[in-house]
Chains A and B, each alone.
Chain A
Amino acid sequence: MAGYPVSRPFTLGLSADHRAAPLIYGVTGLLLLATVLQVLPTVGVLDSRYFPPLTEILTSLSSQLSSADFWSALGSTVSGWLLGLTIAVIIGGVGGILIASFRILDRLLSSTVEFLRPIPSVALVPVAALLFGTSMEATLLLVVFASTWQVLVQVIYGVRDVDKVALETARTYRLGTVRTIRSVMLPSLMPYLIIGVRLAAAVALILQITGELIIGTPGLGRLISVAQSSAAVPTMYALVLVSAFLGVLINSGMRMAEGKVLFWHASIRGDQK
């Protein structure tokens, strides 16, 4: 690594291939999409009442960017997402380690987990709305319920994947509980935990926006539904664009974090051919 002044193209972490060609193609593709979105409504192929040209969307986006409401909504969405994800990671992580470590817990709880996990979390929308009205806790409940399972299941797999021989070796060397967890369990758990967190992050964003959209808790989703009911079509598209960027940011941020945390792991090293 040292001594090579390599300038890495900015790829949003979207592609494992860090050479320039994908970047050029990718940017071309996005530009083509932008052109299509601009031209089709302008020439009338798409109805501009429903599909406003891109410039109109961007104008409305820039007026959003200077409104306080927008920033407070974005803040609510991001903080709700982060809080929900954090709670889910804690519950899922601790629960997963416990379930996987104690066989009795595993046997007792697996049927309950297997039944609760596929329950679509949007089924809880009415309960959340009844209990919390339109305050942010309503959405938080949905986010936590949906994303905890992702972490829990991955952590269970991860703990089960810990090498038995390594564990016994640690015991023979009398490493103690703390060091055993830190240097034996954590390394093999980490890849699974990261995958769990990445999946949970995506699911959490979906449920965060869903809660805002349907229950009406503060956030981008509510702004979208307000824009929809006041027929402010370009604003609606602008907000959808913002939520898409939020999604891209979260996805690529998670993948970058994965690369940083798991730089030693074969799955990451294998990518850097």
Chain B
Amino acid sequence: MKRLGAWAFFTFAVPVVLIIAWTIASETSDTIYFPSPIAILAVFPDTWFSGAISGDIFPSLSRLAAGFGLALIAGVGVGTLVGMLKPLRLLLEPIFELFRAVPPPVLVPIIMLVAGIGDGMKIAVIAFGCVWPILINTVAGVRGIDEVQLDTAASYRFSGRLRFVSVILPAATPQIVAGARQSLAIGIIMMVISEMFAATNGLGFNIIQFQRLFLIPEMWSGIILLGLLGVGLNAVFKIIENRLLTWHVGLHAAEK
């Protein structure tokens, strides 16, 4: 009980102090840019829970899921192929590095040119931004596979599919997951940017709209919602990662 109390104290002390300080600071001053948390909380339900979930949050998240999913499939697929064939890898690695070095936001105007400003553009932007870390990490992961494992699979005459599913994929998973974690952060950025740049719905669009209309508490509620989404998606990723890599962590702990 005492330990629980200590944990609660250390976990919540600073956030509570910060929120109280923010409240006092903004209630006692006349700045309009930093409304107090009470004012933000007051507009939060009306701003986001009446229709906005289906109208804004859902479209944003489903575009993120589609783009990220596409990047995952393409990255792992192409990455495995390239990782297995050395000449192909040597040929393509500099190209991948070049594409990876492009700061993903500059893709928004280019992809807009081709795909307009619809959902397709946003999904393409997210996928294009996300694919490189996954692709490059998959190549590295596949390259690092133990030769003996591959030879064993070959002597047992594993079919291509079986080899992919039971030898290559598991061995490369830790690296792929590391790449996917980077990609998720990029994906969230791209989701928001593509909506800020040109959209008719979505979180990013709304936040910018609130800013332009000077609806400051509403704008802050959007920022906080975006923050919560970031934290939530990260937590979901961690859960999936733990599931996927339990065997890996266990193995490494055993080797130590």
Residues of A within 8 A of B (CB): 12, 14-15, 21-22, 25-30, 32-33, 50-51, 107-112, 115-116, 118-127, 129-131, 205-206, 208-210, 213-214, 221, 224-225, 227-228, 233, 236-237, 239-240, 243-248, 250-251
When C-beta atoms are compared, the residue in chain A nearest to B12 turns out to be: A111
Partner of A126, one of B12, B106, B210: B210
Cβ B11 vs Cβ A122 within 8 A? no
What DSSP secondary structure best describes chain B's contact surface? Answer: helix
Complex: how many Å from CA A250 to CA B112? 27
Q: How far is the CB of B9 from chain A (nearest CB, A)?
A: 9
Cβ B204 vs Cβ A248 within 8 A? no
21 A–B pairs (Cβ distance < 8 Å), ordered by A: A12-B97, A14-B94, A21-B90, A26-B91, A29-B93, A29-B95, A110-B10, A116-B227, A118-B185, A120-B189, A120-B226, A122-B188, A124-B223, A126-B210, A130-B33, A213-B193, A214-B193, A214-B196, A236-B110, A236-B113, A248-B97
Complex: how many Å from CA A126 to CA B188? 16
Complex: how many Å from CA A21 to CA B211? 54
Cβ B113 vs Cβ A233 within 8 A? yes
Bitwise, B92-103 to A at CB < 8 A (1) or not (0) is: 111101111111
Cβ B196 vs Cβ A236 within 8 A? no
When C-beta atoms are compared, the residue in chain A nearest to B18 turns out to be: A112
Partner of B87, one of A25, A213, A224: A25
Complex: how many Å from CA A227 to CA B11? 49
Cβ A122 vs Cβ B109 within 8 A? no
| B104 on the A face (CB < 8 A) | yes
Cβ A243 vs Cβ B193 within 8 A? no
Cβ A213 vs Cβ B106 within 8 A? yes
Cβ A26 vs Cβ B90 within 8 A? yes
Cβ B94 vs Cβ A120 within 8 A? no
In order of increasing CB-CB distance, the 8 nearest A-B pairs are A247-B101, A25-B90, A126-B211, A228-B109, A123-B226, A119-B227, A29-B91, A26-B94
When C-beta atoms are compared, the residue in chain B nearest to A114 turns out to be: B231
Bitwise, B151-188 to A at CB < 8 A (1) or not (0) is: 00000000000000000000000000000000001101
Q: Which residues from chain A contact B222 at a C-beta distance below 8 Å?
A: 123, 126
Q: Which residues from chain B contact A28 at a C-beta distance below 8 Å?
A: 91
Q: Which residues from chain A contact B197 at a C-beta distance below 8 Å?
A: 213-214
Cβ A247 vs Cβ B102 within 8 A? yes
Cβ B196 vs Cβ A26 within 8 A? no
Cβ B91 vs Cβ A206 within 8 A? no
| B134 on the A face (CB < 8 A) | no
Q: How far is the CB of A44 from chain B (nearest CB, A)?
A: 15
Q: How far is the CB of A157 from chain B (nearest CB, A)?
A: 15
The tally of residues in B whose CB lies under 8 Å from a CB in A reads: 57
Cβ A129 vs Cβ B211 within 8 A? yes
Partner of B106, one of A32, A51, A243: A243
When C-beta atoms are compared, the residue in chain A nearest to B237 turns out to be: A118
Q: How far is the CB of A25 from chain B (nearest CB, A)?
A: 3
Cβ A240 vs Cβ B211 within 8 A? no
Cβ A15 vs Cβ B18 within 8 A? no
Complex: how many Å from CA A246 to CA B208? 29
Q: Which residues from chain B contact A26 at a C-beta distance below 8 Å?
A: 90-91, 93-94
| B192 on the A face (CB < 8 A) | yes
Bitwise, B106-120 to A at CB < 8 A (1) or not (0) is: 111110111000000
Q: Quick one: which of B176-233 are within 8 Å of A by CB?
A: 185-186, 188-189, 192-193, 196-197, 204, 207-208, 210-211, 216, 219-220, 222-223, 226-227, 229-231, 233
Partner of A118, one of B109, B208, B231: B231
Q: Which residues from chain A contact B112 at a C-beta distance below 8 Å?
A: 228
Complex: how many Å from CA A240 to CA B99? 11
| B15 on the A face (CB < 8 A) | yes
Cβ B105 vs Cβ A108 within 8 A? no
| B54 on the A face (CB < 8 A) | no
Cβ A206 vs Cβ B105 within 8 A? yes
The answer to whether residues A213 and B108 also contact, given A206-B103, A244-B102 and a CB cut-off of 8 A, is: yes
When C-beta atoms are compared, the residue in chain A nearest to B101 turns out to be: A247
Complex: how many Å from CA A115 to CA B230? 9
